[in-house]
Chains A and B, each alone.
Chain A
Amino acid sequence: MITVSLFGRGGQGIKTASHIVGDAAFTSGNHVQDQPLYGAERRGAPISAYVRISQTPILERGKITNSSLVVIADDSLLDSIVDNPLQTVTDSTVIMINSSKGVSEIRTRYNINNVLAVLDLTKLTQDITHKSIPGVAVASTTCKLLGFEFDVIEKSLRAELKEIGIHQEDISRNVELARSCFNQTTHAKIETITKIKIKESPIIDPIYHHPQISTCTITATGNSRLRERGAWSNFKPVIDYEGCTKCMICYVYCPDSAFTIDVKGFPVVDYDACKGCNICKTECPTKVISLVRRENK
């Protein structure tokens, strides 16, 4: 069995990517399971999806704990302690990362010794589709690594995108994107995983605790500031202060309290708080806010 784990953020098309991979694998004559996993559905929040591909019926269920192939659609996830996608990697896992950085930089920074492909799929996606949803690029690259034919990928892609209501012209652009990803990737040797042995665990009787201690109580105030949300977007708003009239419109409309007003009355963005919704850019009456691609720290 081949196990593929895909990691990304809500809104990047990861769920659709896993469906395309699953569909292409199925059309190529395999037994397939594909499932996204998310908590409350949020744009920008980490999500993962799992695809199992096998010549024989699949009896496993749930999350994949050891992956043949790990696909990471957003390199900012690598810096996250809680949602780190490298958790399911073993020595033989092949890893593909969407990043604007080079292979050697990624290798040393995250201490990766596996077979590794690093591609700037976000840039390619922007160039071809004029949007920054890399899902299709991720799906096509993954399919190529797995050794599927382009015809099969195209068919699955068209079907999946149509099902979620994407327009014909956008589908065509995405097919073009898929083709160029397909052509720039080589087929990788992906190892099948062997059966995992499941440890027997004892049954534990829950003990009664008074609600005062068994329910969650937060005694701190305003501590969510410790959670940086800058990685939720690939772009950040940058203000050209020369044309800024201090009208405060950007400050007022920011849903995430990411602005402060400095002593001279100018708005200042806190980039660790900004989720990159771009409301401030759209609302600024003098159009002095522009978007700049983020480099993660």
Chain B
Amino acid sequence: METRFRTLKDIPLEEELVPGTMICAGCGGALLVRIFEKVLGSNVITVNAAGCMTMLSVFPFTPFKSSWFYVAMASAPAAAQGVRDALDILIKKNKIDSKDNLKVLVLTGDGAASGIGLQSTSAAIQRGLDFYYLVYDNEAFSNTGFQASESSPFASATKTTSPTETHEGVMSQKKDLFEIWRAHKPPYVATISPAFIKDMMQKIERSSQFKGPKLFIANSPCPPGWGIESDQVIRVANLAVETGIWPLKEAINGEVRHTWMQKRRPVEEYLKTQERFEHLFKPTRNDEIINQLQKRVDDYWSSVKK
């Protein structure tokens, strides 16, 4: 398929989200939503599970030029099914013109996607719901002050997992949503990053040729939660990819392809940028944990087909 996005400059200039939101300055998630909506265009209804991004619209103000629907944390894919069905029925009965058809986008955080909302997502994928699903993965429950979620990475500090002498922050491994979704065999699954906007635009475009679930999981640096300066968001997202911690990939009908495969940097370059991993370096360096994190990334990449 011929792409509209050959360079960064091919980005659509129309803003689908106007300024003035309550979202933190420098929020990686907000940037992702802005770009995602630009590529999808104006005929969209966004179904938003409770989380940081529900702060985009605070009554009586909204940044969206298109429709937005706020639903409970666990039920966004179910609500999206209702919206999709209603649109289909109205079009079939000629109550609305098919050119007024809307794309349905579920917008959700990692807390909902990998925890409380996993069941309804699984069911929606299984039913073959025709929708886009975007997870802004800031790796914790940021909206309420950064408590650990099932997506928080191993050894990271969160509000509920402060490192102590006996443990190093989060002791479980980050849930692999990409593989969980892929096991359902949807037509399109991808990981994206705010530092790789062209890759992201091309993936959204590529996914649009499929009817059915089109699922995206996005690395979303969160300045207050990760302990980074807001201007470092893109730098940190870039390191997540370049150290191999955040593989950029897609799976079309289950077949995986990596869209970034270059020489990797050591993971500690990424870890060092963030206060949530600071205890691995200060007051003394914890080589055991750093090596474990490196090994996990190495093991992942050694299984990747060249």
Would you give 8 A-B contacts (Cβ < 8 Å), ordered by A? Answer: A41-B145, A167-B282, A218-B60, A222-B64, A226-B61, A229-B21, A277-B231, A279-B233
Among residues 81 to 135 in chain A, which have CB atoms less than 8 Å away from a CB atom of chain B?
Answer: none
B25 touches A43 (CB 8 A): yes
Contact between chains at A44 and B24 (CB < 8 Å):
yes
Contact at B15–A276, with CB atoms within 8 Å? no
Query: Which residues of the other chain, B, contact A227 by a CB distance below 8 angstroms?
Result: 20-21, 61
Task: Confirm or deny: A29 has a beta carbon within 8 angstroms of a beta carbon on chain B.
Answer: no
The CA of A40 and the CA of B24, in the complex, are separated in Å by 10
Q: Complex: how many Å from CA A50 to CA B275?
A: 28
- If A44-B25, A218-B60 are given as contacts, then 13 extra A-B residue pairs at C-beta distance below 8 Å, sorted by A number, are A40-B143, A41-B224, A42-B23, A42-B24, A221-B66, A229-B21, A248-B8, A253-B31, A253-B194, A255-B233, A257-B15, A277-B233, A278-B229
* Count, chain A residues at interface, CB 8 A: 47
A253 touches B230 (CB 8 A): no
**A257 B19 Cβ-Cβ under 8 A:** yes
- Determine how close the nearest CB of chain B comes to the CB of A50; give it in whole angstroms: 19
Binary contact track A239-263/B, C-beta < 8 Å → 1, others 0: 0000000011101111111100100
Q: How many residues of B contact A (CB 8 A)?
A: 49
Q: Is B55 an interface residue (CB 8 A)?
A: yes
In the complex, the answer to whether A165 meets B64 with C-beta atoms within 8 Å is: no
Residue of A nearest to B232 (CB): A282
B22, B230, B233, most chain A CB atoms within 10 A: B230
Which of A42, A218, A222, A252 meets B65, CB within 8 Å? A222
Nearest CB on B from A223, distance (A)? 6
B254 at the interface (CB under 8 A from A): no
User: For the complex, is A232 an interface residue (Cβ under 8 Å from B)?
Assistant: yes
- Give bound CA distance, A222 to B63, whole Å: 4
What 0/1 pattern do residues 13 to 43 of B give for CB contact below 8 A with A?
1010111111111111011001100000000
Q: Give, as a whole number of angstroms, the nearest-CB distance from B68 to chain A.
A: 8
| Minimum CB–CB distance for B202 against chain A, Å | 14
* Complex CA distance for A247 and B17, rounded to whole angstroms: 22
Contacting B224 at CB < 8 Å: which of A11, A253, A256, A257? A11
Q: Within 8 Å CB of A11, what residues of B?
A: 224
> What CA separation (Å) do A258 and B23 show in the bound complex?
13
Q: How far is the CB of A130 from chain B (nearest CB, A)?
A: 13
Closest to A167 in B: B282
Given that A257-B19, A278-B26 are known contacts, is A248 also in contact with B11, CB under 8 Å in the complex? yes
Q: Is B290's beta carbon under 8 Å from chain A? A: no
Does the CB pair B19–A218 fall under 8 Å?
Answer: no
Chain B residues with CB under 8 Å of A201's CB are: none
Residue of B nearest to A45 (CB): B22
Q: Which residues of A contact B24 (CB under 8 A)?
A: 10, 42-44
CA gap between A192 and B65 in the complex, in Å: 51
Q: How many angstroms from the CA of A249 to the CA of B9 in the assembled complex? A: 8
Q: How far is the CA of A11 from the CA of B224 in the complex (A)?
A: 8
Q: Which residues of the partner chain B approach A252 to less than 8 Å between Cβ atoms?
A: 8, 11, 35, 197
> In the complex the two chains form, what is the Cα distance from A221 to B31 in whole Å?
19
Assuming A255-B26, A257-B34, is B19 touching A270 (CB within 8 A)? yes
For residue A233, CB closer than 8 A to chain B, the reply is yes
B177 contacts the other chain (Cβ, under 8 Å)? no
A40 to B145, alpha carbons, bound, how many Å?
8
A192 and B57 alpha carbons, distance in the complex (Å):
42
Q: What's the Cα separation between A224 and B56 when bound, in Å?
A: 9
Instruction: Give the residues in chain B near A207, CB-CB below 8 Å.
Output: none
Q: Cβ of B144 and Cβ of A248 under 8 Å apart?
A: no
The listed residue (A44, A218, A249) touching B62 by CB distance below 8 A is: A218
How long is the Cα–Cα vector from A41 to B145 in the complex, in angstroms? 6
Bound Cα distance A103, B261 (Å)? 60
A282 touches B60 (CB 8 A): no
* Inter-chain contact A216/B59, CB cutoff 8 Å: yes
Chain A min CB distance to B38 (Å): 9
B234: chain A residues at CB < 8 Å are 253, 279, 282-283
